[in-house]
Structure 1
Amino acid sequence: MSATSRVPALAPFRVRSFRFQWPADLATSWAFEMETLILGWYVLVETQSVLMLTVFASLLYIGTLLAPMFGVTGDRIGHRNVLCAMRAVYATLATTLMTFAFTGVLTPVLVLVIAAVMGLVRPSDIGMRAAVVGEIMPAAQLMGAMSIQRTTQDSARIAGALTGAGLVATLGMGPAYLVVASLYASSVLLTLKAGRARARITSAERHVGEAGAKARPRITSAEHRVAEAGAPARSPQTAVFAGNVSARPSPWRDLRAGLAYVWTTPHLLAVMCLAFLLNLTAFPLLYGLLPYVAKEIYRADQTALGYMVAGAAFGALLGSIALSTHGGAIRPARMMIVFCAAWYVMLLVFAHTPHPVGGILVLILAGCAQSMGQVPMAALLLRNSDAQFRGRIMGIRMLAIYGNVPGLLLSGPLIARLGYPITATLYCAVGLGFTLLIAVRWRAHLWRLEAPANTR
């Protein structure tokens, strides 16, 4: 008996495409984490400005507004095809920056320019990954598959952070970026290899069966509301399969249909609001401002920063592993609300922890709470929505990442005026307050046990 048969948590690896997608996502996530740490520290050291650090971090998310169109494109030509093209862009930009570093012409301005171009594409990567998982996995295995897929980010954040800090400290920027470019190139090749099994996976997807049928009557009524709003009720794929290619609506009408679908589906709208709130007030504290905390609060170097990032990622990895084995027993919407609130509490404690060792321990708990809240959120979006809108829904979900931009840009002046602990306290108080408001406003769809969003 194979390991995937004996261990339920490894069941998603029975799907051939997932066996290629997982290492491809792992290589991409590893490169993301190394790149963010290397360039963030470079900008902070070269400019001696926390404002420039927040500008750099914000540039990585400027393409968030384009994420819904990436979702539309994925629904039209295939999510995996879009993912391959995106990762080819990462590899090209990383090679360019590596060349600048080896030739000695790299400056903070060039780093910001390349970060801006990267930021046009990078925010949509996680959404496309999730859409592919939703495409190839039966509903019963979706929570476990999303948990395993999440480990690519968490484990890479640990290894990428520690390796990135060590490579720059010992070898310099050029050799470190050679590793980043190689990881991106590997991810392109693995994603292309996985794409060859797409036809077989699509036919296997038909075995999802009864889980998807339960949501069909409710989704059909939502589609009628979309049609009444002037958006096409017929999917682009349906028009093409019927032999009427000219009937395919424009991408903008597809996007309107996706936005209307989210707006008229209460649990999807609630999740989108919560996702924006988390990106506005929680993610800047956990990731964007850690270089500032390491350098200015703890008076440490990039190695300590690597340990801090790895601590948060280790906690998230523990949460992902727990969900991969016990995810079938949870109530997704309830768990999302509870652990998002717990995440804010841990960030509040971290903001007032004066020593790096204690801070790392708190970051482990914060990372665990983050994972236990984010994985059910992603599974809820994929499981409780129509398959024809999957790419657009995940693209709209990625649109919430735009909250990072005002969150980071506002934090710079606030820290300069009030200091980091008070600024973080303010962010956590606002986040906790609005999380409670969201839970109360949509309690019938997020908290009641009989709600579809809480189906086990």
Structure 2
Amino acid sequence: MPLLRHPSAHSWGALAPFRVRSYRYQWPADLVTSWAFEMETLILGWYMLVETNSVVMLTIFGALLYVGTLIAPLIGVLSDRVGHRVMLTGMRSAYALVAGTLTTLAFTGTLRPAIVLVLAFFTGLLRPSDMGLRGAMIADTMPPGTLTAAMGISRTTTDTARIFGALTGAGLFAAIGIGPSYIAITAIYVVGAILTWNAVVPDAAREVHQSKDPGPELSPWRELWEGMVLVWNTPRLLAIVWYAFLFNFAVFPLTNGLMPYAAKDIFLTDQKGLGYLVASVALGAFIGSLGMTRSGMRTELAQIMIVAAVIWHILVLVFAQTHTLEAGAAMLVLCGFAQSLTMVSHTVILLSASDHRYRGRIMGVRMLAIYSLPLGLLVAGGLINLIGYRATASCYAIVGLAFTVLIAVRWRASLWQARTFAEAPAAGVGG
């Protein structure tokens, strides 16, 4: 399979993934798509909060962006059949179509919060699967010795998007309004779709897809069931999926969907202040992602993930007690750093433990765990009205910390039985 043959990565160090043609196209495609995601989420989140003056409506909007987690395993099955490149290109074209619709509504003065919720629902059917399919596509085309570096660099697409996308989105919204801002967002989605289509040349993509052992023809539901059974019967995979469920329920709502509320009602700031808070998380995550690209790291990824996750929850607990924008932003930088170490390790462990024939559906099952994020948002919205933001955030961080330790103890043998290092030796990798 010529697509997967690459020279030793030593001479390129942390940039070795860019020797792969597919990665040279996929990375910028993922980057611009992530930029558009962050700009869209920030702009529409602020719009919903200002127009409705309701934290519950804000959490409903945030939850709708993840409604597709319920069908993520089916999207994973379909992507295994048609190819990850084809699936991602189609999804990103759909984002552009929805953004174009919202642009038209904004310019005609017919945009309303209810319409935003409907459009968020349609976008949310696909967005949760985007990250998982990115990882599956990288794993298909990347030599094993550079997979961790590739995932670390790939993670920077989300991190930089949250820095620059958040600041750009806030600045555009404040300066020129929602309509002109959405022209830029639509254009960015179109560029992302074009780059994704060109990430793997069609003949090479077909060769990789056909190289997989087809086996007997199964129905999509049977393939989905096989993927779920494989995860359930593989303790290492099961532990990782439980961690995905926990992180998305306990900590991501606090540094993601609820950030507009924290900016407006806790730190008493505007769109620009919200941009600074979101960018602070991303700055720390970006530094952490770069750290995970270090060639030659020999620390076991399970250890990195669990220790970083414990620190992450503690930092979120401290953030919940801050009172000034500057202190909050400083704590969010540290939260982002711990988050990145946790999630890069988490993803590489999952991909390394997945057979290529089942990678799409396994990533789909992992995406299904993200359904805990909208659940966490909705529960948090109700709790904030009852006990306040700080108490709610503190409870989430403490519960998340307790279950992080519990999962580590429950599956300690499985997490440590396969020694997955931060960077495997790259020499001699081929085929």
User: Does 2:325 correspond to 1:325?
Assistant: no
Distance 1:298 1:77, change over 3 A: same
1:326 Cα deviation from its structure 2 partner: 4.5
Determine which of 41, 58, 73 is the counterpart of 1:36: 41
Given candidates 114, 124, 132, the residue that maps to 2:119 is 114
- The 5 Å alignment of 1:413-452 reads 413-446=382-415, 448=416, 451-452=418-419
Correspondence for 1:135 among 132, 135, 140: 140
Which residue does the alignment assign to 1:348?
317
2:322 is paired with a residue whose SS is coil
Alignment of 1:275-354 (within 5 A): 275-326=244-295, 328-354=297-323
Per-residue deviation, 1:76: 1.0
Match of 2:102 in 1: 97
Q: Which amino acid aligns with 1:435?
A: T
Change (3 A) 1:454 1:300: same
Say which of 255, 261, 274 aligns to 2:230. 261
Q: CA deviation at 1:451?
A: 3.1
- Deviation string 1:156-191 (CA, Å, 9 cap, x unpaired) is 110100000000111110110011000000001101
CA contact (8 A) 1:147 1:320 kept: yes
Following the alignment from structure 1 to structure 2, what is the Cα–Cα distance between the partners of residues 187 and 202?
A: 23
Give CA deviations for 1:413-451 in whole Å, capped at 9, x if unaligned: 1111111111011101110111111000011122x4x53
Whether the aligned pair in 1 keeps the contact of 2:213 and 2:357 (CA below 8 Å) is: no
Query: Deviations 1:330-355 (Å, cap 9, x if unpaired)?
Result: 21111111111111111101000000
Which residue is equivalent to 1:238? 213
Give the residue type in structure 2 aligned to 1:73: L
Shift of 1:236: 11
C-alpha separation between the residues in 2 aligned to 1:329 and 1:299? 44
Structure 2 counterpart of 1:344, one-letter code: H
- Listed as ranges, the matches of 1:64-83 within 5 Å are 64-83=69-88
TM-score (norm 2): 0.93
| Structure 1 contact 17–197 (Cα < 8 Å) conserved | no
Q: Does 1:192 align with 2:197?
A: yes
- What pairs up with 1:143-292 in 2 under 5 angstroms? 143-196=148-201, 199=204, 237-239=212-214, 247-292=216-261
Write the letter of the residue equivalent to 1:451.
A
CA contact (8 A) 2:310 2:404 kept: yes
C-alpha distance in structure 2 between counterparts of 1:185 and 1:239, whole Å: 33
Deviation at 1:58, TM superposition (A): 0.3
Q: Residue 384 of structure 1 contacts residue 452 of structure 1 at CA under 8 Å; is this kept in 2?
A: no
| 2:239–2:411 contact (8 Å) kept in structure 1 | yes
Distance 2:403 2:61 in 1: 28
SS at structure 2 position matched to 1:325: coil
| One-letter code aligned to 2:192 | S
How far did 1:138 drift?
1.3
Q: Which residue identity is paired with 1:64?
A: T
Identity within the alignment, %? 52
Q: Cα–Cα, structure 1 residues 46 and 200, in superposed 2: closer, same or farther, change >3 Å?
A: closer
Aligned 8 A contact 2:13 2:295 in 1: no
- Checking the alignment, whether the CA contact within 8 Å between 1:154 and 1:316 is kept in structure 2 is yes
Contact 1:24 1:190 in 2 (8 A): yes
> Residue 6 of structure 2 corresponds to which residue in structure 1?
none
> Against the structure 1 CA distance between its residues 125 and 297, is the aligned structure 2 distance closer, same or farther, given a 3 Å change threshold?
same
Contact 1:38–1:164 (8 Å) recurs in 2:
yes
Moved over 2 A (4+): 4-7, 200-203, 235-240, 326-330, 450-456
* C-alpha distance in structure 2 between counterparts of 1:198 and 1:402, whole Å: 36
**Cα shift readout 1:88-137 (whole Å, capped 9, x = no counterpart):** 11000000000101111111111111001101111100000000011001
Task: Provide the C-alpha distance between the structure 2 equivalents of 1:297 and 1:9, rounded to a whole number of angstroms.
Answer: 40
Distance 1:112 1:327, change over 3 A: farther
Question: Match of 1:208?
Answer: none
Question: What letter corresponds to residue 266 of structure 1 in structure 2?
Answer: P
Distance 1:454 1:365 in 2: 24
Distance 1:435 1:306 in 2: 29
Tell me how far apart the structure 2 counterparts of residues 128 and 328 of structure 1 sit (CA, whole Å). Answer: 26
The whole-number CA distance in structure 2 between the counterparts of 1:66 and 1:428 is: 28
Q: Which runs of 5+ in 1 are unaligned?
A: 206-234, 241-246
Distance 1:357 1:387 in 2: 45
The alignment status of 1:408 with 2:377, answered yes or no, reads: yes
How big is the shift at 1:195?
3.0
Q: Does 1:396 align with 2:396?
A: no
User: Would you say the 8 A contact 1:81–1:195 is kept in 2?
Assistant: no
Query: What letter corresponds to residue 305 of structure 1 in structure 2?
Result: L
How far apart, CA to CA, are the structure 1 residues paired with 2:28 and 2:398? 38
Aligned partners of 1:197, 1:143: CA distance in 2, in Å? 26
Mapped contact 1:62–1:119 kept (Cα < 8 A): yes
From 375, 380, 388, the equivalent of 2:344 is: 375
Residue 63 of structure 1: which of 68, 79, 85 is its match? 68
Say if 1:68 and 1:198 are closer, same or farther in 2 by CA, change over 3 A: farther
In structure 2, the residue corresponding to 1:300 is in which secondary structure? Answer: coil
Q: For the residues of structure 1 that align with 2:368 and 2:211, how far apart are their CA atoms?
A: 22
* CA deviation after TM superposition for structure 1 residue 452, in Å: 3.7
- Cα 1:98–1:268 shift into 2, 3 Å: same
The answer as to whether partners of 2:85 and 2:196 remain within 8 angstroms in 1 is yes
Q: CA deviation at 1:405?
A: 1.4
RMSD in angstroms over aligned alpha carbons? 1.9
